[in-house]
Amino acid sequence: MEDLGFLDKKCQLSKEDVIQSFGYYIETLWKNTEIKNYIAWTRTENDDIYSNFEYIYKKITPAS
Give per-residue pLDDT as tens, 6-56: 888 888 788 888 888 889 999 999 999 999 999 999 999 999 999 999 998
Model-level pTM greater than 0.85? no
Helices 15-31 and 2-9, packing angle to 10 deg: 150
Task: Kindly write down the DSSP assignment for every residue of 26-43, as one continuous string.
Answer: HHHHHH-HHHHHHHHHHT
At residue 35, the pLDDT reads 96
At residue 36, the pLDDT reads 95
Alpha carbons 59 and 30: distance in angstroms, whole number: 12
pLDDT > 60? residue 64: no
Cβ atoms within 10 Å, residue 46 = 9
